Structure 1
Amino acid sequence: MVCALGAAVCFGTATVLQAVAARAAGTGGGGDAALLLRALAQWRYLAGLALDGLGFLLQIAALRSIPIYAVGAALASSLAVTAVVAARLLRVRLTGSEWSAVAVVCAGLTMLGLASGAEGHRDGSTTLKYVMLATAAVVLLLGPAGGRLPERGRALLLGLGAGFGFGVVEVAVRLIDGLAPSVLLTNPATYALLLGGGAAFLLLTTALQRGSVTTATAGLVIGETIGPALVGVVWLGDRTREGLAWLAVLGFLVAVAGALALARFGEAPAAEG
């Protein structure tokens, strides 16, 4: 859980840096690769990517130790980190209700930490690995489709798509059996992880730059938490501590609800310089 929370701190801080860089990169269509390249020319975006890399390593460590639903809720809490970082670094004013939402997220994660058991030990089937790969391919196609929609619909689709992409990464980590090259190259989950993660970054960059930030970020939180949690419980055997399933469900819902209340912090206002 410490690794999952560390990943949330990295991702939450990176969001502030990447959001500022995405705004400075100009306009672009849904899933526009040129927009990503322009964002990569911004030092803030590169710093955010470095934090994302560290967060990803911590996420892998967490996914190897605790259930996917606990990791997903912890990652959703990165919005609370984003809110606090934005308040400190960019002087974004948090209302009393938003500080309350930060506290709600912390309370939900505490409940999850108390209730979570060890990760499930069911092996992911070959079918599930190919389903993850197919899902990642669909996520990649959502970029051009989302770019043609009106603002609210575009933001929701791009946000959900990015969430599904990151959700594929969460599940794919559990489906990779070993790190030997011969194992990695023959495992469909490896390609699902790479394609899903790349597509998610592409869609998220566009969602941060265009449309309703609150709508996009809400879609992101929903996409990266609920689906992977269900896969972990139904197909991979994730469980809670004996008699504490109700606390895990409550903690998950409370943490996600608190994150959704902070959805506007999926993008911080642009900074000077």
Structure 2
Amino acid sequence: MTDDTVNSTRLSLLGLGDMGTALARAWLAAGYPPTVWNRTPARAEPLAAEGAVVAATAAEAVAASPLVVTCLLDDASVGAALDGTDLAGRDLVNVTTSTPEQARARAAWARKRGARFLSGGVMAVPPMVGRPASGGYVFYGGSPEAFREHEAVLGAAVGARFVGADPGLADLHDVALLSAMSGMFAGITHAFALVRNEEVPLKDFAALLSEWLVAMLASVPETAERLETGDYTTGVVSNLAMQARGNQTLLRTAEEQGVSTELLAPYARLMERRLARGHGDEDGTGLVDLLTRPTA
């Protein structure tokens, strides 16, 4: 890409919260000076000093560029900001946190207004934006043509990964990964609660905990393979019956330590339900069936 190509790429960004501001600064640094708009104009002033063009209204920002990125509070905010704007011929990229169904509905809404649409699920926090080595990226779903056309500029701020023509897939990937993260943090929280009042050096314990969690990640590809084949028993090392017995020790230890079991108990109950249905020789993969097919 030449300097002329970079400088001719016009980009508008609506929303200058922490993430929007980080995106704007990353595009400025990469040579894509954006036109920016924010409901509170003062948020745009520092970016104007750095080279961004400030639009007085959302409609003005949309009119300024063929590529329009929205990074707002929620889906309703996107609808409110774009209400009455002319989206015909625009490519609308919405990286506002949404559900899969909201993304699909917003895609249909955009198409009716003559715009191609991409939904984005951001797998990064603001300090990771503009730093290629940080590992941050955005899932994109929707118009393949729009993604191909704008992949370079989108990826200049933070890595871009296309997951399919269904716009809801970007948000589904985002929420699925965040849900796994949430469960991991629940376990980390419980683990620290168990040891914090004992003579355990917390920094040393943190190193052990990190090492253990990384080792356990080896089970993730195996779970995917079992779900694809339907074989939940071949080669099982720690079967469900053994895990359920082990849960009794986990829960009793928490009680002895004066720690609430509320983070562990729901998962333990799910295991007991699967075990009661005669699946003690499986690993934990069958718990997915309980969550997705409760009557199975």
Q: Which fold has the larger relative contact order, with Cα–Cα distance below 8 Å and residues 6 or more apart in sequence?
A: 1
TM-score by length of 1: 0.27
Which structure features the higher share of helix residues? 1
Which structure features the higher share of strand residues? 2
TM-score by length of 2: 0.25
